[in-house]
């Protein structure tokens, strides 16, 4: 408590706004770093290289900090997650977007390897993520 009171009093004596901003940034410990992970498919999913799969194209999706919403065009608010979402979250959002972009039923969408990048603060808080993959269409016989 004494350290916080001392830093608060010391900050009050500083009149340069730039210096106050630097001190505040150091005290808060904010910063971003980008990391990435690759998620592969599972044995129960179709592969893009199987027969009957037509490649549709690349699909990108993002959420949180540094993300521009596709529908509204506005930048999204940063997330505040202690741990990244599970792989199923990225798979579901990519599948939904691919179905919307290519006008294909969601059950016919096949995803390749998913590359996910995170925007983290120095303390590990996830502020945003972006994922991309190649989507294909599995022609289902009915």
Q: In this predicted model, what pLDDT tens digit does every residue of 33-85 receive, in sequence order?
A: 555 666 655 545 567 777 888 999 999 999 888 888 777 777 888 888 888 88
Same domain assignment for residues 101 and 49: yes
Rounded CA-CA distance 89/83 in Å is 13
What are the angstrom distances between the C-alpha of 7 and each of 4, 12, 21, 123, 142? 5, 9, 14, 21, 70
Q: Are 50 and 61 in the same domain?
A: yes
Co-location of 10 and 50 in the same domain:
no
Check: CB of residue 84 under 8 Å from CB of residue 39: no
Range of the domain at 15: 1-30
50 in the same domain as 22: no
Judgement on whether residues 2 and 57 belong to the same structural domain of the protein = no
Mean per-residue pLDDT over the chain, rounded: 76
Q: Do 110 and 66 belong together in one domain?
A: yes
In which element (H, E) is residue 19 found?
helix 17-28
| Domain identity same for 22 and 82 | no
Those residues whose C-beta lies under 8 Å from the C-beta of residue 9, and which sit 6 or more positions away, are: none
Q: Band of the pLDDT at 29, cuts 50, 70, 90?
A: very low
Q: Dump pLDDT digits (tens) for 77-136.
A: 888 888 888 888 889 999 999 999 999 999 999 998 888 888 888 888 888 999 999 999
- Confidence band, pLDDT 50/70/90 cuts, at residue 27: very low
Q: What is the pLDDT of residue 100?
A: 94
Question: Is the domain of 3 the same as that of 66?
Answer: no
How many domains, the chain?
Answer: 2
**DSSP-derived secondary structure for 82-118:** SSPPPHHHHHHHHHHHHHHHHT--GGGEEE--EEEEE
């Amino acid at each position: 408590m004494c350290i916080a009171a001392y830093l608060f009093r010391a900050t009050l004596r500083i009149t340069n706004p730039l210096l106050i901003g630097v001190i505040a940034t150091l005290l808060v410990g904010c910063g971003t770093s980008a990391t990435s992970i690759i998620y592969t498919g599972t044995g129960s999913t179709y592969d893009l290289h199987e027969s009957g799969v037509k490649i549709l194209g690349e699909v990108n999706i993002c959420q949180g900090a540094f993300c521009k919403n596709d529908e509204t065009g506005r930048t999204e608010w940063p997330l505040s997650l202690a741990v990244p979402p599970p792989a199923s979250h990225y798979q579901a959002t990519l599948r939904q977007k691919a179905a919307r972009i290519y006008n294909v039923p969601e059950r016919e969408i096949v995803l390749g390897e998913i590359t996910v990048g995170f925007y983290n603060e120095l303390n590990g808080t996830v502020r945003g993520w972006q994922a991309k993959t190649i989507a294909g269409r599995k022609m289902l016989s009915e």
